[in-house]
Amino acid sequence: MIKQTQLAGLSRRRFVGWTALLSAAVAVPARVWAWARPEAAFVATGIDEALAGLGGTPTVHDAIQFTTPDIAENGAVVPIRIEVDSASLPNVSKVSVLVEMNPNPMAAVFDIAPDTEVYIETRVKVAQTCNLYAVVEADGQLYMQSRETKVTLGGCGG
């Protein structure tokens, strides 16, 4: 006897093959804001150059709450969280994540819509034990927090 879920699966899948599923062409993302990828920061191979690509040298600000694990089980996936207390640091328009010792330190930049929460969670690759930076832009000024994350080797060394 065929179960209900299988029937549902069947009808749903009849039209979508394996390869079609992987190469499904969907609508190009709607672009409401102008896209402005800071390419200079992304191609930079050193942390100072990457920060310059974002517009300068940030100053440390305590309103930025940057959470990373002290020690990561795997450098391929390091969870990070950035929150900004908007009472102490209002008008944040950009949030960036940098990994100092990566071949390209710039990992991600986020444009934040006005009048919303400054809260980003993602996962980044960390090639080796080093500092991670959370950089935010508010009213044209750059601020940051940094944290060290230790990356450990696996059981058999790779």
Partner 1 sequence: MVSALTLSSAVVSSERLDAVLMESFVDNGQATMERLQQDPVQQACHQSRTEPPDAAVAATLRQQRLDAVVFPADGNFLGDWQRGAAVADNGRGLQSSDDPAQPNGGNCYACHQLAPDEVAYGTLGPSLTGYGARGQSEPMLRYTWTKLWDTHAYNLCSHMPRFGAQGILTQQQLKDIMAFLLDPASPVNQGLR
Partner 2 sequence: MSSRIKIRAQHADGITEVKALMRHPMETGMRKDQAGESIPAHFITEVAVFHGERPVMQGYWGAAVSANPFLGVRFKGGEAGDIVKVTWLDNQGGTGEGETTIR
Partner 3 sequence: MTRTWVWLIAMLAMPALSGDGIFDEYRDLMGDDNPAIFVIDEGEALWFEPQGPLAVSLEGCDLGLGAGVTEGAYALFPRYFEDTNTVMDVESRLLHCMETLQGRDREALLKKPYSLRGDLGTELEALVTWLAAESEGAIIAPQQAHSSERAMYSLGEEIFFYRAGPHDFSCATCHEQSNMRIRLQTLPNLTDHDDAAATLGSWPAYRISEGLVRTMGWRLQDCFRQQRWPGLKLGSEVSIALQTYMAVNAAGGVMAAPGLKR
Buried b (16+ CB within 10 A) or exposed e, 60-73: ebebbebebeeebe
Residue with tokens 């006005």: 114
Indicate the residue among 39 and 73 with the shorter CB distance to partner 1: 73
Q: Interface with partner 3 by CB under 8 A: which residues?
A: 2-3, 6, 8-10, 12-14, 16-18, 21-22, 67-74, 76-77, 79-81, 123, 152-156
Residue 76 engages partner 2 in binding (rule: CB under 8 A): yes
For strand 119-124 and strand 64-67, is the pairing parallel, antiparallel, or unpaired?
unpaired
Degrees, nearest 5: CA angle 19-24-29: 155
Residue 63 engages partner 2 in binding (rule: CB under 8 A): no
**Least CB distance to partner 3 at residue 61 (A):** 22
**Least CB distance to partner 2 at residue 54 (A):** 11
Residue 123 engages partner 2 in binding (rule: CB under 8 A): yes
In angstroms, the CA 8 to CA 12 distance is 6
Residue 104 engages partner 2 in binding (rule: CB under 8 A): yes
Residue 71 engages partner 1 in binding (rule: CB under 8 A): yes
Indicate the residue among 65 and 141 with the shorter CB distance to partner 3: 65
Residues 6 or more apart from 18 whose CB is under 8 A from it? none
Buried b (16+ CB within 10 A) or exposed e, 130-152: bbbbbbbbbeeebbbbbeebebe
**Least CB distance to partner 2 at residue 106 (A):** 6
Residue 150 engages partner 1 in binding (rule: CB under 8 A): yes
Which residues form the interface with partner 1 (CB under 8 A)? 71, 150, 152-158
